[in-house]
């Protein structure tokens, strides 16, 4: 598997210590030198992506997949580095960057339709794969519990971004964002929470399952019929052909060799329980809610609106659980206006 270092501005020298660079590509964009892992698979896709990426038809997903890179990120209590997948901005801006998280068991490809629009709006955007999901190199599997996910995100921020960000979290990604903002307030300027799923008390009884049962359940989670059903719930009346293709996009990371172990690890760890942290959030927060969300009740969004100290809400008509996929222009305008406001 090809390893590489990616540089935007500066790369921590220590990060190169445990990384073997077998291939680099360089280009200049807006005065910023970018050194990183090139797409060397079929059709310019990075070689570390599962071969099933070739079957995806969505041009936005294919284009964003070609931009996925891996950055070395130090893991807790170790000198080792995880090659961590993300989409990195081409140009560094003076304004606060926007960092895009994703839903439970998803990847940065969730931002395939919104990411180009964020760049067009002049924002510096990072689409980051949360530890244990996405396309990182987890051959030596680290813990994938909440604390590890939080620390990994902090280390990536501290190594490459180094400025307060507008942190965007959809669905369970909202819980990831709240947990991060409360624990590392210096790293987060503002929060954007999209159809937030923040009131579940972790993984509940799933954390108590015997390992063999947990692995059976995770195997079911990967299946195409279950993922297709989830897509039909998540989106507001898309065609069957598009739903089939978007199902392939949504489960692409499930073909990573470590995915099953990482998912079980997260599940038995107890998952996210951020209910007690909500009132500790100090940052200004924008809630974005699809009017036709069939997965997270709008009543829970209203509850969150009143419990967050500095929050306001915007609704997206004719949209389900993932408005940043269904209505990217509307969502990007909301994010951009909020990010650029005082």
Following DSSP, what letter does each residue of 99-153 receive, concatenated? Answer: EE---TT--GGGGTTTHHHHHHTT--EEEEPPTTSTT---SSPPP-SHHHHHHHH
* Residue 111: inside a domain: yes
| Backbone dihedral region for residue 113 (phi beyond 0: left; psi -120 to 50: alpha; all else: beta) | alpha
Cβ burial 275-287 (10 Å sphere, 16+ → b, else e) = eebbeebebbbbb
* Residue 316: inside a domain: yes
* Residue 18: inside a domain: no
- Selecting among 171, 197, 269, 319, the annotated active-site residue is 171
The CATH number given to whatever domain includes residue 322 is: 3.40.50.1820
Give catalytic status of residue 105 as yes or no. no
- What is the torsional sign of CA 302, 304, 309, 315? negative
Report d(CA 2, CA 38) in Å as an integer: 9
* Residue 37: inside a domain: no
Give catalytic status of residue 102 as yes or no. no
> What angle, rounded to 10 degrees, do the helices at 172-183 and 146-156 form?
70
Could you list the pLDDT tens digit for every one of the 342 residues in the chain? Answer: 332 333 333 334 333 333 333 344 443 333 333 344 545 666 899 999 999 999 999 999 999 999 999 999 988 666 789 999 999 999 888 899 999 999 999 999 999 999 999 999 999 999 999 999 999 999 989 999 999 999 999 999 999 999 999 999 999 999 999 999 999 999 999 999 999 999 998 888 888 888 899 999 999 999 999 999 999 999 988 999 999 999 999 999 999 999 999 999 999 999 999 999 999 999 999 999 999 999 999 999 999 999 999 999 999 999 999 999 999 999 999 999 999 998
* Residue 169: inside a domain: yes
Write down the residue that tokens 């996009």 correspond to. 249
Total domains in the fold of the chain: 1
Q: Residue 232 belongs to what domain range? A: 43-340
* Residue 13: inside a domain: no
Residue 207's closest CA among 262, 149, 265?
265
Residue 3 neighbours by CB under 8 Å, 6+ apart: 19, 20, 21, 22, 37, 70, 83, 137
pTM of the predicted protein model:
0.88
* Residue 106: inside a domain: yes
- Selecting among 85, 293, 319, 324, the annotated active-site residue is 293
* Residue 30: inside a domain: no
- Note the pLDDT of residue 45: 97
Report d(CA 221, CA 211) in Å as an integer: 15
**Assigned token pair, 86:** 């993300």
* Coil, strand or helix at 180: helix
Give catalytic status of residue 29 as yes or no. no
């Amino acid at each position: 598997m090809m390893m590489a270092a990616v540089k935007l501005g500066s790369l921590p020298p220590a990060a190169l210590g445990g990384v073997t660079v077998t291939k680099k590509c360089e280009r200049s964009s807006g005065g910023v030198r970018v050194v990183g892992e090139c797409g060397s698979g079929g059709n310019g896709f990075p070689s570390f992506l599962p071969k099933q990426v070739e079957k995806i038809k969505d041009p936005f997903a294919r284009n964003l997949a070609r931009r996925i890179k891996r950055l070395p990120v130090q893991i807790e209590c170790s000198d080792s580095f995880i090659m961590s997948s993300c989409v990195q901005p081409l140009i560094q801006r003076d304004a606060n960057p926007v960092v895009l998280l994703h839903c439970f068991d998803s990847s940065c490809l969730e931002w395939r339709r919104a990411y180009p629009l964020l760049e067009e709006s002049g924002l510096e955007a990072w689409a980051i794969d949360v530890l244990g999901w996405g396309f990182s190199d987890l051959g030596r599997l680290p813990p994938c519990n909440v604390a590890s996910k939080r620390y990994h995100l902090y280390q990536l921020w501290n190594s490459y971004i180094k400025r307060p960000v507008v942190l965007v979290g959809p669905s369970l990604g909202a819980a990831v964002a709240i947990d991060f903002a409360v624990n590392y307030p210096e790293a987060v300027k503002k929060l954007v929470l999209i159809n937030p799923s923040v009131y579940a008390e972790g993984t509940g009884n799933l954390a108590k399952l015997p390992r063999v049962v947990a692995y059976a359940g995770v195997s079911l989670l990967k299946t195409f019929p279950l993922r297709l059903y989830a897509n039909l719930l998540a989106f507001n009346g898309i065609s069957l052909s598009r739903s089939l293709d978007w199902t392939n996009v949504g489960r692409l990371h499930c073909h990573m060799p470590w995915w099953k172990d990482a998912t079980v690890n997260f599940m038995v760890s107890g998952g996210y329980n951020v209910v007690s942290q909500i009132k500790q959030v100090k940052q200004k927060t924008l809630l974005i809610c699809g009017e036709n969300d069939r997965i997270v009740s709008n009543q829970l969004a209203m509850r969150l609106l009143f419990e967050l100290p500095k929050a306001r809400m915007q609704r997206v008509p004719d949209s389900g659980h993932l408005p940043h996929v269904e209505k990217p222009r509307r969502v990007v305008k909301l994010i951009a206006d909020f990010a650029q406001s005082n």
